[in-house]
Amino acid sequence: MSTSPHRFGHIALLGPPNAGKSTLLNALLGQKLAIVSPKPQTTRNQLAGILTLGDAQIVLIDTPGVHVPRGSRLNSRIVEAAWQALAQAQAIVLVLDCPFYLQKPDLLEKDIKLLSRPVERSGLPVIVALNKLDALADVKNMLPVMARLGEAWPGAEIVPVSALKEKGLDQLLSVMTAHLPEGDSLYPEDELTTAPMRFLASEIIREKLFLALSQELPYNTAVAIEHWQDTPKGARVNAVIYVSRDRHKGMVIGKGGKVLKDVGSKARQDLIELMGGPVHLELFVKVREGWTEDEFFLNELGEEQGS
Ligand SMILES: Nc1nc2c(ncn2[C@@H]2O[C@H](COP(=O)(O)OP(=O)(O)OP(=O)(O)O)[C@@H](O)[C@H]2O)c(=O)[nH]1
Ligand SMILES: [Mg+2]
C-alpha cells in the first residue's frame, strides 16, 4: 500500500494559442471535454476538468491561448480569462508547441517574453509540457528549445509530450502531482467537470463552427443556448449562433442550408455522447452587429457559460 499522502489542487494549463492545451486536457482526462481545432484561439473560457487518481485529485484548468490581444473586447477578455486562471492554481503547466518554435525561433523568444512576467508574478511553480513531440523529425531537435526554456524558467521540469499521441503523460502527471499540496479530494471521483452542461453544449456547437468555417468567420461567431428542456424522449436544445455581419449569416447557413445542417448533425452526435441519450437540436443564426465589442452581450455570454 502506498504511504504517500493524498494530494489535491488546481493546475492551470497555460500557453500560446494552438499549442495543444485543450488536447492535453482531454488526453489527461482520457475523455473529450474541451473543444479542439487547428485554428488558434479556439478556447475562449476557462474550463476545469477533474482528474481523480489513486493518490491525488487534480483540477486541470484549460485556458484560452495567451497572446497580445489586438482589436476587439472579446479578444482582451479571452486573454484576461487565461491570466485569471493563475489566481486559483497551485502550479502552472506551460504548454508549448516544440515543432513550431523550431520553424520560428524568434517566436519562442516572443512567447517567453509574454509569459515570463505574469508567471513569475504568480509565484507558482512551473512545469513545461513541450508538446507535439510526434511531429518532430528527430527528438534530438528539441534539445536547443529545451535548453532555452531551462534558461527562461530555471529549475522547471521540462517534460516532452505528445498530447495527440498520448506520449509522456504519465511522467507529466507524476511531476504535476508532486507539485500539489496535501489535501483530500474536493469532488466525487466520477465528476469530470465543474462546467454547466449548457456551456459544454454551446462549446460543442462552436467547435463544429470552427471546423466548418474558414478565415475570420469563426472568430465572429458566438453560440448561446436559448432553450433547453429535458423530456422523457431526450433533450430538446435550441441554440443561437450569433454572427456580427449580415453577410456572415448566409455563409454560416451555406448554400441550401448545407453548412448549418452539417454543423447541426455533427454537434448532435457529440451531444448524444455527452448526455448519453437522444438529443433534438435546433440551430438558429442571428445577426448581432458588433457583438465582439459589446460589453453587455459579452457579460451575458459569460453568465451563460458559468464564468
Ligand atoms: N501533431 C500534434 N498535434 C497536436 C498535438 N496536440 C495538439 N495538436 C493539434 O494542435 C491543434 C491545436 O490544438 P488545441 O488543443 O486546440 O490547442 P490549444 O492550445 O487549446 O489552442 P487554443 O484554444 O486556440 O489556445 C489541433 O489541430 C490539435 O490536433 C500533438 O501532440 N501533436
Ligand atoms: Mg484550447
Q: pLDDT tens across 82-141, in order?
A: 999 999 999 999 999 999 999 999 999 999 999 999 999 999 999 999 999 999 999 999
Partners of 51 in beta bridges: 58
Nearest CA among 93, 120, 115, 109 for reference residue 21 = 93
Q: Does residue 285 have a pLDDT over 80?
A: yes
Average pLDDT of the chain, as a whole number: 95
- Binding site annotation covers 19? yes
- Could you tell me which of 129, 235, 238, 136 has the C-alpha nearest to residue 179? 129
pLDDT value at position 302? 79
63 contacts 46 by C-beta, under 8 angstroms: yes
162: DSSP letter = B
Q: Three cell numbers at 161? A: 509530450
State the DSSP code for 189.
Answer: T
How far is 219 from 205, CA to CA, in rounded Å?
14
All domains of the chain in start order, with CATH: 7-178 (3.40.50.300), 197-304 (3.30.300.20)
- Which ligand is nearest the CA of 37, by number? 1
Residue 245 CB partners (closer than 8 Å, separation 6+):
220, 287, 289
Q: What is the C-alpha end-to-end distance of the chain, expressed in Å?
A: 40
Read off the pLDDT of residues 57-99 as tens digits, 9 standing for 90 and up.
999 999 999 999 887 999 999 999 999 999 999 999 999 999 9
User: In a mutational test of the pocket of ligand 1, which residue from 23, 66, 207 has the highest number of ligand atoms less than 8 Å from its CB?
Assistant: 23
Contacts of residues 226-233 at CB distance under 8 Å and 24 or more positions apart, as own/partner, are 226/284, 228/197, 228/198, 228/201, 233/278, 233/280
- Cell readout for 56 is 491525488
Distance CA(91)–CA(237), nearest Å, equals 37
Q: What is the percentage of the chain residues whose pLDDT exceeds 70?
A: 98
With helix as H, strand as E and coil as C, how does 55-77 read? CEEEEEEECCCCCCCCCCHHHHH
Ligand 1 centre to CA of 38 (Å) is 6
C-alpha cell at 130: 513541450
CA 215 – ligand 1 centroid, Å: 18
Give the integer Cα–Cα distance in Å for 144 and 237. 50
Q: Is the pLDDT of residue 304 over 70?
A: no
**pLDDT the model gives residue 76:** 95
Mutate to test the pocket of ligand 1, among 13, 18, 169 (most ligand atoms within 8 A of CB): 18
CB atoms within 10 A of CB 282: 12
Query: Cell numbers 502552472 correspond to what residue?
Result: 92
pLDDT at residue 307 above 80?
A: no
Q: DSSP E strands: which ranges in the chain?
A: 7-14, 47-52, 56-62, 91-97, 126-131, 157-160, 221-231, 234-243, 279-287
| pLDDT tens digit sequence for 25-42 | 999 999 999 999 999 999
pLDDT: is 215 or 182 the higher one?
182
The predicted pLDDT at position 289 comes to 96
Rounded to whole angstroms, the Cα distance separating 51 from 125 reads 19
Dist. CA 201–CA 282, nearest whole Å: 12
Residue 306 clears pLDDT 80, i.e. is over it: no
- Distance CA(246)–CA(96), nearest Å, equals 37
Q: pLDDT per residue over 135-170, tens digit each? A: 999 999 999 999 999 999 999 999 999 999 999 999
Q: How far apart are CA 147 and CA 158, in angstroms?
A: 10
- Span 257-275, pLDDT tens digits: 999 999 999 999 999 999 9
Residue 298 confidence (pLDDT) above 60: yes
How far, in Å, CA of 16 to CA of 109, rounded?
12
pLDDT, position 70: 83
Ligand 1 in reach of 164 Cβ (< 6 A): yes
Percent pLDDT > 90 in the chain is: 94
Bridge pairing between strands 7-14 and 91-97: parallel
